[in-house]
Chains A and B, each alone.
Chain A
Amino acid sequence: TTHTPEFLGLNSSVATDLTEEAKYGEDVIIGVLDTGVWPERASFLDHKMGPIPARWLGGCADEESFSASLCNRKLIGAKYFAKGYEAATGPVNTTVEFKSARDGEGHGTHTASTAAGRMVSKASLLGFAEGVARGMASKARLAVYKVCWESGCYDSDILAAFDEAVADGVDVISLSVGGGVVPYYLDPIAIGAYGAMKKGVFVSCSAGNSGPGSLTVTNVAPWITTVAASTIDRSFPATVTLSGGDEFQGTSLYSGPDLGDSLHPLIYAVNASKAGVNAYSASLCLDGTLDPAKVKGRIVLCDRGSNARVAKGQVVKAAGALGMILANLPVDGEGLVADSHVLPATAVGAKAGAKIKDYILSTKSPKANILFRGTVYGVQPAPVISSFSSRGPNPETPEVLKPDITAPGVNILAAWTGAAAPTGLEGDNRTVEFNIISGTSMSCPHISGIAALLKGARPGWSPAMIKSAIMTSAYVVDNTGAPLADEATGNVSTPFAYGAGHVDPQRAMNPGLVYDLEVADYIKFLCALNYSQAAIRVIDPDVGACPTKIGSPSELNYPSFSTLFDQTGSSSAMLETTFSRTVTNVGPANSTYTVDVVGPKNVKITVSPSILEFTEENQKLHYTMKVSAPPVKLPPGTIGSAFGFVAWTDGIHVVQSPIVINW
């Protein structure tokens, strides 16, 4: 990626520089379960890399479309898993996709290079976002496991890839894929990730792109690190100018001849439908809905939704239009994603879209232009939690806050396949070495790479310690000093959107204290979920009987706090819950930490003891946190939530956790 290393502080040269101490992840192996890889990209070159770790048992499958000789000391594994896919849909159509680890889609090449791509200078997408591209752990070894195909990613193949990756010896697994939330014992991603965790492998997964609605987060098992997406301080503005002089800020990655200086006739697609086509379909610029006679030589405003954003551009261009304005609907809010459209086009938020539509309705001869302003840095505020990023509460276990952490996931440049255009459209014949795309798929591999750096710098840390370090060192203010904002509303965001906050890799290396978790802790957690013994044994076949006294899922020694109160409107008694936590000192031996709590109004939070005095490294100390909240009665089906933070500090480290109270 370009710019996200700088945005994350990974280019600093301070003495404790994470990248240096971790040797850029050289001893660490990242397994990426995705659409495969385009191995010829410069991001996967192996110059100046030492021998492959001797413990590595994996390799590269030799196929017609992916010779094993393409693997090297960087790309050390490349396998594909298609039997589940083929059983469901028929044999892989090799005229459409590669029956090998070769990536015909682009997504897997992008995620793999984001996690661990080598440094490549003068990287850009058609001139946008130019700079030195590199992954978070630029010397980590990559092993790719192709599990996603034309019609999706099949559980049986995903589980096979988990099985193989762990057997091969990966240290980190990155999975930017998801589906519906089901109990953990019915979820092969949760099961596979548990088995990986048990063998010391850190697993990070994308939270999903179903935001900004609540209860949309996926990949929510507590042994997974669930990653939300945010913007960085870089944008690609493309401004809409109307004949009256009004301007609306949009975003675009269009690269080609612009629309010149003059204004052009503007039409709302709803008024440009072909005979016999309903206006609603036309408003979305669905294929075959626009009347060329009505759009020729004009800029067309299309509503977002139904078909791909870039496909709308293709439809508009095919109908003979000059350009396109893609307007969010109220449901989309103000979140914008830049696309490399096939004609001059820009995306605008719902408010701007409504105003432009009003202008079209109220103007006899509406006219507009689009000004493309390239790449802009230093954008404020940043980061902002992306509108699309899936939100909590955790639908499966509300006592465990999800997502866990936020990382850059909007307009991320990384390597791309040679087999697909940047838009992914069939009629788009452009080929690029790098592409800019958005999603929690893009934020997830940032965390995977950072976890690889931490694993390299702190080889003795468990997956839970790495996760804790990443979470408790995260920040919750943007580059203006204000609380992290929500792109969907423009208001202050919450831990349901960002989890513990935005990742700060340098601080994660020296977290001071960590919340560790062992297999036994997860088993207690599973018992607390009231799962049957048979269900628990699907996740962990080695487990014995649950204890007769089972606790609450919120007792898991997690680096965040979440509780669920009944809505007891008739009672006036305060609602109470007590969390118990154990922290391990991974900082200097003699360290004294004091607690600071910020709670919501009317909620009393007390921590005992309020001072933790450590005398040894790796010493464990316990504390409890009591939350007393007033009873609340809400309309049926409504969840009420309030938020706070608890932070332990020794004057150097700040070990911060979000607190979520749900009624």
Chain B
Amino acid sequence: SDLGVRTYIVQMAQTQQPVVFNSHQSWYESTFHAVKQMRHTQSVFAVNELDGILHTYSTVFQGFAARLTEAEAEAMRLRPGVMAAYPEQVRQLH
């Protein structure tokens, strides 16, 4: 089930955060879990910390990074409040 999983950087529209969430973090987690649940009939995600949200961004960028399959990333892009989801690159020292 890990085949094709990559780290995606997901941008969220802060103005679209539903009032039911009292923090960006909880909104991001809800969005992330909703996508994962759509892909898995059983809740097999979040086996360890690195299967969940890796980073939450709030200063130069609004959103989070998480491990997703391409299909999950596509599903993520369709979620309310998600502006973009794109895979990360690996950089090298110059």
Interface residues of A (CB under 8 A from B): 34-35, 81, 83-84, 86-88, 105, 107, 148, 151-160, 162-164, 166-167, 176-180, 182, 185-186, 188-189, 191-192, 194-196, 198-199, 206-209, 439-441, 444, 534-535, 537-538, 541
Query: Do residues B83 and A151 form an inter-chain contact, with CB atoms below 8 A?
Result: no
A163 to chain B, nearest CB (A): 5
Cα(A179)–Cα(B90), bound, Å? 7
A435 to chain B, nearest CB (A): 14
Query: Do residues A541 and B91 form an inter-chain contact, with CB atoms below 8 A?
Result: no
- How many residues of chain B are within 8 Å of chain A by beta carbon? 28
With beta carbons under 8 angstroms apart, the residue of B59, B60, B67, B93 that contacts A153 is B93
What are 27 residue pairs bridging A and B, where the CB atoms are less than 8 Å apart in the complex? A83-B49, A84-B54, A84-B88, A88-B6, A88-B7, A88-B90, A107-B93, A148-B91, A153-B91, A155-B9, A156-B88, A159-B57, A159-B65, A160-B55, A167-B58, A179-B91, A185-B84, A186-B86, A195-B60, A198-B60, A199-B60, A209-B94, A439-B93, A440-B94, A444-B94, A538-B84, A541-B11
With beta carbons under 8 angstroms apart, the residue of B49, B58, B59, B88 that contacts A155 is B88
Query: Do residues A84 and B84 form an inter-chain contact, with CB atoms below 8 A?
Result: no
Task: Report the nearest B residue to A389, measured CB to CB.
Answer: B94
The 3 nearest A-B residue pairs measured at CB:
A195-B60, A155-B88, A156-B65
User: Digit string of B33-52 for contact with A (CB within 8 Å is 1, else 0)?
Assistant: 00000000000000001100
- Report A-chain residues with C-beta under 8 Å of the C-beta of B58: 163, 167
Cα(A194)–Cα(B62), bound, Å? 13
Query: Do residues A159 and B86 form an inter-chain contact, with CB atoms below 8 A?
Result: no
Query: Do residues B54 and A83 form an inter-chain contact, with CB atoms below 8 A?
Result: yes
B5 to chain A, nearest CB (A): 9
Query: Do residues A177 and B60 form an inter-chain contact, with CB atoms below 8 A?
Result: no
- Report B-chain residues with C-beta under 8 Å of the C-beta of A151: 90
- Report B-chain residues with C-beta under 8 Å of the C-beta of A538: 11, 83-84
For chain B residues 1-51, which have a beta carbon within 8 Å of chain A? Answer: 6-7, 9, 11, 13-14, 49-50
Task: Report the nearest B residue to A176, measured CB to CB.
Answer: B94
Cα(A162)–Cα(B61), bound, Å? 9
- Report B-chain residues with C-beta under 8 Å of the C-beta of A166: 59-60
Interface residues of B (CB under 8 A from A): 6-7, 9, 11, 13-14, 49-50, 54-55, 57-62, 65, 67, 83-84, 86, 88-94
Query: Do residues B90 and A156 form an inter-chain contact, with CB atoms below 8 A?
Result: no
A34 to chain B, nearest CB (A): 8
Query: Do residues B55 and A84 form an inter-chain contact, with CB atoms below 8 A?
Result: yes
With beta carbons under 8 angstroms apart, the residue of B11, B62, B83, B93 that contacts A35 is B93
Task: Report the nearest B residue to A388, measured CB to CB.
Answer: B94
Cα(A162)–Cα(B59), bound, Å? 8
With beta carbons under 8 angstroms apart, the residue of A180, A186, A196, A541 that contacts B13 is A541
With beta carbons under 8 angstroms apart, the residue of A34, A157, A167, A209 that contacts B59 is A167
- Report B-chain residues with C-beta under 8 Å of the C-beta of A152: 90-92
Cα(A208)–Cα(B94), bound, Å? 6
Query: Do residues B50 and A159 form an inter-chain contact, with CB atoms below 8 A?
Result: no
Query: Do residues A155 and B91 form an inter-chain contact, with CB atoms below 8 A?
Result: yes
Cα(A142)–Cα(B36), bound, Å? 40
User: A160-B55, A166-B60 are known contacts. Are A180 and B89 too (CB-CB below 8 A)?
Assistant: yes
Query: Do residues A177 and B55 form an inter-chain contact, with CB atoms below 8 A?
Result: no
Task: Report the nearest A residue to B67, measured CB to CB.
Answer: A87
Cα(A87)–Cα(B49), bound, Å? 9
With beta carbons under 8 angstroms apart, the residue of B14, B50, B57, B60 that contacts A194 is B60
- Report B-chain residues with C-beta under 8 Å of the C-beta of A156: 7, 9, 54-55, 65, 88
